[in-house]
Amino acid sequence: MSELKIAMAQLAPVWLNKSQTIEKAEQAIREAAQEKADLIVFGEGFLPGYPFWLALSDGAKWELPINKSLYAHYAMNAIQIESGDLKNICLLAKELKIAVYLGIIERAADRGGHSLYCSLVYIDQKGETQSVHRKLQPTYDERLTWSPGDGNGLRVHNLNGFTLGGLNCWENWMPLPRAALYAQGENLHIAVWPGGLHNTKDITRFIARESRSYVVSVSSLMRKEDFPKDTPYYDNLMDKAPAILADGGSAIAGPNGEWLVEPVVHKEGLIYSEVELKRVFEERQNFDPVGHYSRPDVTKLTLNTERQNTLNIKNQ
């Protein structure tokens, strides 16, 4: 049976700075490869960062200059995959033969190139981008800056005998997207978060017990000192920002729902663990949510994986 070594990248981005955060991600990938990791996972929206200003700037107020300015800054530092923004990361993954789950803010060209999506990208060990999952439903104030995604990225991927799938933050509380991944054979679930023990301490073990899978929850960090001084409206943000905006909480639960790596807080760096596929089969013996303990004749889920687009051009 297969084993997998995982690196959880609990890092603070160079907030809203695309180029410097890419460099930080590349450094982490190199470090993980040196430690013989098969997979490295980054937090939600790590590249170039989570929109923390929304909670600090009266984010829902119309025509407020701070919100317009920060959104523009955010968009200009967001990732456009079609333009090659992830090219070097893909080349590095291929060179080092390491798979990557990377949380990005995507400025999607196929939706006009101005709206933003919270996306989770999977790059395989050949350096090929296999899926880009756009968060289905941004949470609360996130809806002021992120657009709702679609089901195109609800896919699973094979790695060393494991079947991997992933969701962004509070998507993990949505039963049907979880079930869609389970039904495709997922046995190692990736849950990415902007950071916060309050997010990971309960749901990580819950999903593991529900699915009888490994669950890898990876969070970023964000502290007051992590705001670059050249950020628009820096002084305004500093007046309202708490000392800690995201404290980490990265963790791994085993297929029995017990901790393999307990949540780690207030620590920046890579956190490593090895998982063994045999444990999944042991726990599926008495419960398999889409196999012997399911009733598709009674309840069944429909998944629409079509990439949503405003324009479909048909050849004449």
- DSSP states of the chain: --EEEEEEEE----TT-HHHHHHHHHHHHHHHHHTT-SEEEE-TTTBT---GGGGTTTTTSTT-HHHHHHHHHHHHTSB-GGGTTTHHHHHHHHHHT-EEEEEEEEE-GGGTSSSEEEEEEEE-TTS-EEEEEE-SS--GGGGGT-----GGG---EEETTEEEEEEEGGGGG-HHHHHHHHHTT--EEEEEESS-HHHHHHHHHHHHHHHTSEEEEEE-EEEGGGS-TTSTTHHHHHHH--SEEEEEEEEEE-TTSSEEEEEEES--EEEEEEEETHHHHHHHTT--TTTTT--TTT-------PPP-S------
Number of domains in the chain: 1
Tokens of 300: 């069944």
Under the phi-then-psi rule, with left for phi > 0, alpha for psi from -120 to 50, and beta for the rest, what region is 294?
Answer: beta
**C-alpha–C-alpha distance, residues 217 and 167, integer Å:** 10
**Residue 293, domain member (yes or no):** no
**Residue 270, domain member (yes or no):** yes
**C-alpha–C-alpha distance, residues 38 and 197, integer Å:** 25
CATH classification of the domain holding 120: 3.60.110.10
Return the CA Rg of the chain.
19
**Residue 312, domain member (yes or no):** no
**Residue 41, domain member (yes or no):** yes
Nearest one of 194, 244, 198 to 223, comparing CA atoms = 244
**Residue 279, domain member (yes or no):** yes
Q: Which domain holds residue 211?
A: 3-284
Q: What is the pLDDT along the chain (316 residues), one digit of tens a residue?
A: 699 999 999 999 999 999 999 999 999 999 999 999 999 999 999 999 999 999 999 989 999 999 999 999 999 999 999 999 999 999 999 999 999 999 999 999 999 999 999 999 999 999 999 999 999 999 999 999 999 999 999 999 999 999 999 999 999 999 999 999 999 999 999 999 999 999 999 999 999 999 999 999 999 999 999 999 999 999 999 999 999 999 999 999 999 999 999 999 999 999 999 999 999 999 999 999 999 999 999 999 999 999 999 988 887 6
**Residue 218, domain member (yes or no):** yes
**Residue 165, domain member (yes or no):** yes
Strands 39-42 and 259-265, bridge-based pairing: unpaired
Tokens of 226: 């992590």
**Residue 311, domain member (yes or no):** no
The pLDDT assigned to 313 comes to 85
Going from the C-alpha of 12 to that of each of 78, 230, 243, the distances in angstroms are: 16, 17, 14
Nearest one of 151, 176, 166, 227 to 40, comparing CA atoms = 166
The pLDDT assigned to 312 comes to 85
Tell me how far apart the terminal alpha carbons of the chain are, to the nearest angstrom: 53
| pTM for the model | 0.96
Kindly list the catalytic residues: 44, 135, 169
Handedness of CA 8, 11, 13, 18 (dihedral sign): negative
The pLDDT assigned to 254 comes to 98
Q: Contact, 244 vs 276, CB < 8 A?
A: no
